[in-house]
């Protein structure tokens, strides 16, 4: 196989990669992680790097051109300039105390990995990094990765990709803040079951086929001589316990936090991501949980103009007069739309009739559309233009419906399983991708959940990462995770023949 050499400047790191490797993947392997808020769709422009052009290709001798790393393949040797040397040490961010002891909290999602540093002395945590899971080159979803991991060498590679990415990210944050690596005393890994198994190097085939067996519910650490992250070999590592193949450490962390907050009756919790993981604590304090596949729509990933909540993302949309206001992160022009922006826009469009309850973009709707929105047809697909270059397509609406249909059907099954009336639920906690920024009215109007008429709703952000940060610094909380896991009764939707009918009955927006 032909290999191409990539050199990253400044710093001069070099590696050889198979011809055709995506530049963003090669950069990640060399420890350079350009931001990728749109997930590689080529719309956000954030992954742009400067590439040395050979003399023959430049207009007048050697030149430098800009290229999107998510769209460029290595088809010749390349020299790439990134904004900063991946090995360099820069000015310390003021928010991290260089004298403190730290725990590293890691939330490994199928789509993204998030990292926080927990100050063990001041009992606070700071989210320090978030990047696309580098395993995605082996497939966007867990099933693709389970299939790829059947090959022993790929399984080792999948583990290595995440371990290296975490090590690089943490080392860089510490270096930036002038913190020595031995200040890291503990590392807590939360995430879904497949991601935690892959990180630990465990076989995953039983997780991908009925009856979805989990040979380990407490994931063993590798032997001491082969530490998970050699750069922090002296830190104590810790995996969150898992409840089932589809209810991972992230859900267990959310439950432990909920119980630690004294919420132990009549509560409903959902963690929205590529999967919707949810539990219901009934009037007797019994915990029943389930999980449904939602697709990454709310993470902005299978949405045509979707991106994470980063500069240029439409994160909110509010009706105003006969028009609407868009909130764009950073205040500049809109480049894409985040999960919260999608929820707001879709709720507005459903309310005005531009999207029917059945989810069809209605070409008759222009009469009722807020000024500034426009229904148009592009490449044979109907779409609503939100801003210059940003639109919601009919396919986007369908993907949103699939997510909300699955979530609503699964939540209704939990109510049935526990004999709970929606009016009994007093607390609803929405965690995950939509973070703390979701407009709860819009979210409720779209019907992601049954209507809980008397409940107080709260958006609690990334509870998986918050639980990992707390586990780093609170031994009692760490112990409570296993106890919380052991309280869970798991309902497998694959055992529910009525799920499909309920899913279809839950697709409409009203």
27 and 42 in contact (C-beta within 8 Å)? no
| Token pair 């590696």 in the structure block, residue | 15
Please say which residue, 296 or 405, places its beta carbon nearer to ligand FES: 296
Q: What's the min distance (Å) between Cβ of 388 and ligand FES?
A: 17
| Token pair 């205040």 in the structure block, residue | 331
- Distance, in Å, from the CA atom of 197 to the CA atom of 181, rounded to the nearest integer, reads 26
272 and 298 in contact (C-beta within 8 Å)? yes
Please say which residue, 47 or 229, places its beta carbon nearer to ligand FES: 47
- Distance, in Å, from the CA atom of 165 to the CA atom of 32, rounded to the nearest integer, reads 9
Cβ count near 447 (within 10 Å): 21
Please say which residue, 37 or 450, places its beta carbon nearer to ligand FES: 37
| Residue 73 β-bridge partners | 22
Q: What's the min distance (Å) between Cβ of 462 and ligand FES?
A: 21
Q: How many residues does the chain have?
A: 510
DSSP at 207: G
Binding site for ligand FES (CB under 6 A): 36-38, 40-47, 68, 70
- Distance, in Å, from the CA atom of 400 to the CA atom of 361, rounded to the nearest integer, reads 13
Please say which residue, 44 or 455, places its beta carbon nearer to ligand FES: 44
Q: Which two tokens stand for residue 17?
A: 């990669």
In Å, what is the CA distance from 336 to each residue of 113, 309, 354, 473?
Answer: 21, 9, 20, 37
Please say which residue, 174 or 301, places its beta carbon nearer to ligand FES: 301
Q: What's the min distance (Å) between Cβ of 155 and ligand FES?
A: 27
Nearest to 267 by CA among 466, 445, 457, 483: 457
Using the Cα atoms of residue 93, residue 97, residue 99 and residue 100 in order, give the sign of their dihedral. negative
Please say which residue, 33 or 238, places its beta carbon nearer to ligand FES: 33
Please say which residue, 337 or 493, places its beta carbon nearer to ligand FES: 337
Residues 6 or more apart from 264 whose CB is under 8 A from it?
258, 281, 285
Please say which residue, 47 or 459, places its beta carbon nearer to ligand FES: 47
Q: What's the min distance (Å) between Cβ of 42 and ligand FES?
A: 5
Q: What's the min distance (Å) between Cβ of 48 and ligand FES?
A: 7
Q: What's the min distance (Å) between Cβ of 71 and ligand FES?
A: 6
Q: What's the min distance (Å) between Cβ of 500 and ligand FES?
A: 35
Please say which residue, 184 or 297, places its beta carbon nearer to ligand FES: 297
Q: What's the min distance (Å) between Cβ of 349 and ligand FES?
A: 25
| Token pair 């963690």 in the structure block, residue | 271
Q: What's the min distance (Å) between Cβ of 307 and ligand FES?
A: 7
Cα-to-chain-centroid distance, residue 99: 31
Kindly state the helix (H) or strand (E) to which residue 248 belongs, with its residue range. none
| Token pair 């085939």 in the structure block, residue | 205
| Residue 457 β-bridge partners | 428
DSSP at 22: B
Side-chain half-sphere exposure of 357, counting CA atoms within 13 A: 6
Please say which residue, 38 or 446, places its beta carbon nearer to ligand FES: 38
372 and 350 in contact (C-beta within 8 Å)? no
Q: What's the min distance (Å) between Cβ of 338 and ligand FES?
A: 13
């Amino acid at each position: 196989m032909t290999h191409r050499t990539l050199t990253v400047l400044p710093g001069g790191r070099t590696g050889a990669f198979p011809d055709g490797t995506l530049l963003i993947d090669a950069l990640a392997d060399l420890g350079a992680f350009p931001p990728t808020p749109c997930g590689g769709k080529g719309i956000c422009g954030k992954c742009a790097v400067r590439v040395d052009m050979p003399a023959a290709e430049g207009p007048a001798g050697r030149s430098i051109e800009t290229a999107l790393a998510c769209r460029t393949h290595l088809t010749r040797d390349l020299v790439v300039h990134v904004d900063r040397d991946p090995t360099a040490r820069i000015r310390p961010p003021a928010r991290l105390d260089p004298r403190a002891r730290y725990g590293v909290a890691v939330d490994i999602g199928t789509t993204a990995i998030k990292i926080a540093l927990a100050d063990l002395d001041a009992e606070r945590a700071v989210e320090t990094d978030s990047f696309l899971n580098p395993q995605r080159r082996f497939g966007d979803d867990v099933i693709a990765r389970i299939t790829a991991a059947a090959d022993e060498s790929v399984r080792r590679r999948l583990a290595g990709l995440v371990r290296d990415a975490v090590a690089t990210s943490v080392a860089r944050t510490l270096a930036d803040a002038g913190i020595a690596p031995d200040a890291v005393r503990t590392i807590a890994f939360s995430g879904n079951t497949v991601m935690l198994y892959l990180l630990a190097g465990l076989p995953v085939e039983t997780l991908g086929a009925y009856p979805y067996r989990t040979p380990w519910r407490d994931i063993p650490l590798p032997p001491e001589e082969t530490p998970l992250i050699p750069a922090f070999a002296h830190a104590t590592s810790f995996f969150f316990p898992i409840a089932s193949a589809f209810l991972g450490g992230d859900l267990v962390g959310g439950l432990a936090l909920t119980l630690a907050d004294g919420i132990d009756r009549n509560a409903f919790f959902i963690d929205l991501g590529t999967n919707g993981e949810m539990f219901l604590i009934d009037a007797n304090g019994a915990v029943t949980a389930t999980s449904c596949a939602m697709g990454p729509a709310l993470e902005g990933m299978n949405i045509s103009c979707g991106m994470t909540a980063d500069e240029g993302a439409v994160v909110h949309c509010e009706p105003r007069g006969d028009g609407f206001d868009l909130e764009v992160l950073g205040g500049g022009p809109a480049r894409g739309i985040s999960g919260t922006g999608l929820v707001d826009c879709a709720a507005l469009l459903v309310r005005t009739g531009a999207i029917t309850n059945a989810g069809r973009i209605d070409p008759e709707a222009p009469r009722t559309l807020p000024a500034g929105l426009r229904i148009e047809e592009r490449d044979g697909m109907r779409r609503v233009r939100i801003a210059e270059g940003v639109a919601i397509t009919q396919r986007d609406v369908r993907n949103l419906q699939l997510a909300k249909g699955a979530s609503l059907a699964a939540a209704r099954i939990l109510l049935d399983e526990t004999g709970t009336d929606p009016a009994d639920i007093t607390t609803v906690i929405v965690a995950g991708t939509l973070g703390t920024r979701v407009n709860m009215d819009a979210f409720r109007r779209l019907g992601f959940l049954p209507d809980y008429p008397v409940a107080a709703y709260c958006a609690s952000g990334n509870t998986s990462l918050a639980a990992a940060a707390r586990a780093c610094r609170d031994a009692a909380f760490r112990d409570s995770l296993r106890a919380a896991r052991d309280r869970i009764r798991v309902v497998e939707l694959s055992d529910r023949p009525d799920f499909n009918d309920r899913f279809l009955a839950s697709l409409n927006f009203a």
